[in-house]
Amino acid sequence: MKRRAHFALLAALPWLLAAPVFAQDAAPVSAAPEGAAPEAVVPEPNRGPPATLRFGNMTFVASHGDRTEILVEARNMLVPPGAQTASLEEVHLVMNDPESGKRAFEMTCDQGALELETSNFHAEGNVEGRTADGRRIFTPWLRYDSDRDVITTDAPVRIVDGRNRLKGRGFVYHLKDSRFVLKGGASIVQE
């Protein structure tokens, strides 16, 4: 089954309605003598470069069948012309298990980059995450790879698991089986 992605664009509706509309195929036709081709007069609008799309209070949803897999909410979203990646500010992301529909991972960050076609995501700045079983993650940045269904970082990370505090230099988190693999320099402190 193919993944669908769609935006909640209600916040952008006033902006879209205020944008100028140009008819590409409409042109006045002048009278021409019989047998001669009519002359089309098409004024060239002064368009300038295409504008970057800016959305406030944006919601992005990627679904699989009737289940929401990824929900991304952001205070602001910027999409340059022709880009397949959206820049996000003040982000809240929720990932659900596609089979059960239960929450698998949730996080917040200062900014992020969302690949619109794949739903891959890069989070940066005060990244705080929570796994389905309650483990909390703190790191400067992380990345979600939708093809491998993993969350990774090479940055310093702190994981709080009940009374245990784990520190390391990066991790790989396998969403399917809720499994962490800490990379170099791992240490555990029990309280």
CATH code: domain of residue 119: 2.60.450.10
Residue 40 domain flag = no
pLDDT digits (tens, 9 = 90+) for 78-92: 998 888 999 999 999
Banded pLDDT at 34 (limits 50, 70, 90): low
Domain ranges, residue 106: 3-14+50-190
The DSSP letter of residue 73 is E
- Comparing 188 with 36, the larger pLDDT belongs to 188
Copy the structure tokens of residue 113.
């980059």
Domain count, the chain: 1
pLDDT digits (tens, 9 = 90+) for 51-80: 888 989 999 888 877 888 889 999 999 998
CA dist 62 and 95 (Å) reads 10
Output the pLDDT for position 125. Answer: 98
Residue 90 domain flag = yes
Banded pLDDT at 182 (limits 50, 70, 90): confident
Output the pLDDT for position 130. Answer: 97
pLDDT digits (tens, 9 = 90+) for 110-134: 999 999 888 899 999 999 999 999 9
Residue 119 domain flag = yes
CA dist 62 and 60 (Å) reads 7
Residue 173 domain flag = yes
Banded pLDDT at 174 (limits 50, 70, 90): very high
Phi, psi of 156 (to 5 degrees): -55, 140
Output the pLDDT for position 122. Answer: 97
Residue 41, SS3 per DSSP: coil
For residue 113, list its beta bridge partners: 87, 122
Copy the structure tokens of residue 26.
């409409």
Residue 133 domain flag = yes
Please check the confidence at residue 185 and state whether its pLDDT lies above 70. yes
Residue 150 domain flag = yes
Average pLDDT, the chain: 79
